[in-house]
Amino acid sequence: MKHSILVILSIAAFSISNLKADVELIMETQGYLLFAPHIHGYKTTTSKNPGYRVELTALTDIVRWDNLYFSFLTSNKTLIKNSPEVGGFGLDQLFYTLSPDLRYEFKKWMMRLGYLHESLHSVSNATLGRTIWMNGIQFTIGSKGSNYLYIWEEYKNNKNKFLNHIDGRSFIEFYRHGNETIWTSRNHDYKMKIGGRLRFQIGSFNKWAYFVGTDGTGWKRQNGDWEAKGIVRLNMFRKGLKNFAGFYYAYNFYDTFSPDNEQYLGSLGLQVIF
């Protein structure tokens, strides 16, 4: 009996020592920063806040165990409204996201699971009124090249070459309604969100990377109604040693999402992917 216990304890100790050896504290951050003014579509848009937006998103990988990563996502979007009636621009909305994140990577694919704590706070947009909390559990699966984390991998070893392939991903998120806390959804009646991305990797020429993509998202309300958003984006980025910096043009060809609407607006953005 004692011998068996010693064997079991030895196996457990060996397993724990191997587990500790495989777990790495990495503390690496990837993300993007962009500045994007709307340049056309003002006369036809249904948006309440045409102007420009500034976004900063950072995903910090904290620890890694084999191909499993535990990370933390922080994101902030600031919307500035062009207000001809007051003769200038004004702060309109603040939208932030905080989320613990689990990611498992395959050779060309990856899966992510996160609990998104999101808040949309209106400043000058009186049509929204109260702060909206859109908290929910999100699951994502797709190819690595569809994510900003790995766009560098698509182009770093390619020079003066057409890539001609498509990357994609899809996600589903369920909003958590319940008791009045900052970790549950409040001041909206959305039940779930689904969406996806298709990205066509064009190629790399003279140290510039070119790709186009489209993103689609749908929000389902508690009563069964849907709102949706569709965006097409053209990208041209200069390759640095480890990062990208460049321009993109985005057009919202369809948008009925009322909290953050850009229907028929086109924007020209400056973006850094790090």
* Total domains present in the chain: 1
CB atoms closer than 10 angstroms to residue 20 = 9
In a domain, 18, yes or no: no
Tens-binned pLDDT, residue by residue, of the chain (274 aa) = 444 444 444 544 444 455 455 789 999 999 999 999 999 998 899 887 788 899 999 999 999 999 999 999 999 998 888 665 555 666 778 899 999 999 999 999 999 999 999 998 877 655 455 788 899 999 999 999 998 888 888 887 788 899 999 999 999 999 999 877 778 888 899 999 999 999 999 999 988 999 999 999 999 999 999 999 999 999 999 988 878 899 999 999 999 998 889 999 999 999 999 8
Q: What is the rounded CA–CA span in Å between residue 132 and residue 76?
A: 15
In a domain, 233, yes or no: yes
Angle at 14 between CA 11 and CA 16, to 5 degrees: 110
In a domain, 21, yes or no: no
SS3 261: coil
SS3 115: strand
In a domain, 190, yes or no: yes
Q: What is the rounded CA–CA span in Å between residue 73 and residue 113?
A: 12
In the chain, the amino acid numbered 22 is: D
In a domain, 115, yes or no: yes
In this structure, what token pair is assigned to residue 120?
């949309």
- pTM, whole model, 2 decimals? 0.85
Q: What's 35's domain CATH number?
A: 2.40.160.40
Rg (C-alpha) for the chain, rounded Å, is: 22
CB atoms closer than 10 angstroms to residue 163 = 18
- Asked if 112 contacts 144 with a C-beta cutoff of 8 angstroms, the reply is no
In a domain, 151, yes or no: yes
In a domain, 13, yes or no: no
- Asked if 107 contacts 128 with a C-beta cutoff of 8 angstroms, the reply is no
In a domain, 85, yes or no: yes
Helices (H), the chain: 2-22, 151-155
Closest CA to 173 of 188, 185, 186, 191: 191
CA-to-CA separations, 79 to 87, 95, 98, 227, 259, in angstroms, rounded: 17, 8, 18, 20, 12
Expressed as residue numbers, the domain containing 93 is 26-273
Q: What is the rounded CA–CA span in Å between residue 243 and residue 100?
A: 24
Residue with tokens 């420009």: 52
What pLDDT, on the 0 to 100 scale, is given for residue 20?
A: 52
Q: What is the rounded CA–CA span in Å between residue 252 and residue 52?
A: 14
In this structure, what token pair is assigned to residue 164?
């001609």
Strand duo 23-40 + 226-239: pairing: unpaired
What pLDDT, on the 0 to 100 scale, is given for residue 8?
A: 44
